[in-house]
Structure 1
Amino acid sequence: MSGSDFHVHGPHDHELEHAAQHEPKGLAGQLAVITAILATLGAFFSYMGGATQANAGLYKNNAAITKTEAANRWNYYQAKSGKQNLAELAVDLAPTEEQRARYRDKIARYETEKNEIKLHAEKLEAESADWDRKSDEQMHLHHRWAQATTTLQVGIALAAIALLTRRRWMEYATVGVGFVGTALGVAAWLHL
């Protein structure tokens, strides 16, 4: 540019200026915006689908660990029951009242210990069932996010077909499928 306000630019510069000054018009511009929106939503939905799948696996793992702890407690309960049964037999076989009294004390102690072990085992089983329920909920959400993502991907594919065929009704189909995918994503967000 010179001091006399004389300005020369090439045809490419002219097209860039024209594109910057005017919003995209026509089918191609509309499909570009629709595709960008669908791709953005799809990326978010895909992330949420992966996150819920990871949560489901983590919760299922916690359920298995807790179930194993409960099984260990039940094994301990059985061991105490076996000792209690031997002490009950010893009461019948003990030659003196002093020995029988000592075995009766052991029986009472085993009974108390068994009750505590049983309560802990039942608590662990309930906790394991809760982890399983949470895992199932997360898998349901994962499937909903996956459905939403897949539907948006179909919408993006329809946008490409609409652009190639220059069919306006395909653009409407793209928008319709995009709305369905978005609705599925909203359903996942609302835990439906």
Structure 2
Amino acid sequence: MSDEYEVHGPHDHAVEHAGSHAAGPSASRIAVMTAILASVGAIASYQSGANENLALFYKNEAAIRKTEASDQWAYFQAKGEKQNLAELGAALSDPSSAAHTKFVADEKRYAADKEPIRAKAESLETEAKKDNDTSESLQHQHHRWAQATTLIQISIALAAITLLTKKKWLQTVTGAIALIGLGFFVAAWLAV
């Protein structure tokens, strides 16, 4: 048999009664506010995660550039030591010998080789600083998005409690926290 009977319990009747009679215009406004806050909170949450990921990306890039710069400085130092050894060889050898001529030529070559290496190392350090600064800026912005998300979530929870308790003062507190959260949202948005 496919005849099914739907039996309503006392709690079903109470929920239907509360939903249709006790809600009023204030409850409708709170429900709309909650839906809007949930949407804004979702955007803030997404932006917070995106900024954190970008901040980590730039921090990683800065570390890579710093390592590359360190490698270049080590290479620069090795060229400098070879230059010093060539200078020593030139100083200790007979000025008219072929060895002396080779040492002097090596000394000049190593001196010339060092300049582009130094320039590249300094360029890499500049890039590392730029990436690090970008990471710091994004991390600061991430904190604003996270604060906005947290305050919006708190206001949504308070809105639910307001609906249950029907306290006017709690509705005011809910609205105030929501406005503060929206202020953080706007501050984070403008920092983009």
What TM-score bracket applies, with the shorter chain setting the length?
0.7 to 0.9
The AA in structure 2 aligned to 1:159 is A
Contact kept in structure 2, 1:73 and 1:120, CA below 8 Å: yes
The AA in structure 1 aligned to 2:78 is A
Deviations 1:158-182 (A, max 9, x none): 1011111101222222222111111
Q: Distance in 1 between matches of 2:95 and 2:84?
A: 19
Q: Distance in 2 between matches of 1:188 and 1:29?
A: 29
**How far off is 1:45 after superposition?**
0.1
- The aligned runs of 1:16-55 (5 Å cut-off) are 25-55=24-54
- Structure 2 residue ranges without an equivalent (≥5): 1-15
Instruction: Compare 50-59 and 24-33 and name the one that shifted more.
Output: 24-33
The AA in structure 1 aligned to 2:122 is E
- The aligned runs of 1:83-102 (5 Å cut-off) are 83-97=82-96, 98-102=98-102
Deviations 1:94-134 (A, max 9, x none): 23523222211211111111111111101100110111111
Deviations 1:47-88 (A, max 9, x none): 000000000100000000000000000010011011001100
Match of 2:6 in 1: none
- SS of the equivalent of 1:95 reads coil
Q: TM-score, normalised by structure 1?
A: 0.84
Q: Distance in 1 between matches of 2:188 and 2:100?
A: 66
Match of 1:160 in 2: 160
**How far off is 1:142 after superposition?**
0.5
Contact kept in structure 2, 1:27 and 1:166, CA below 8 Å: no
Contact kept in structure 2, 1:27 and 1:168, CA below 8 Å: no
The AA in structure 2 aligned to 1:107 is E
Match of 1:73 in 2: 72
Note the aligned Cα RMSD (angstroms). 1.7
Q: Distance in 2 between matches of 1:93 and 1:108?
A: 17
Q: Distance in 1 between matches of 2:109 and 2:24?
A: 86
Runs of 4+ in 1 over 6 A off after TM superposition: none
Instruction: Compare 137-146 and 161-170 and name the one that shifted more.
Output: 161-170
Q: TM-score, normalised by structure 2?
A: 0.84
**How far off is 1:25 after superposition?**
4.3
- Structure 1 residue ranges without an equivalent (≥5): 1-14
Contact kept in structure 2, 1:66 and 1:127, CA below 8 Å: yes
The AA in structure 1 aligned to 2:178 is G
Match of 1:131 in 2: 131
Match of 2:8 in 1: none
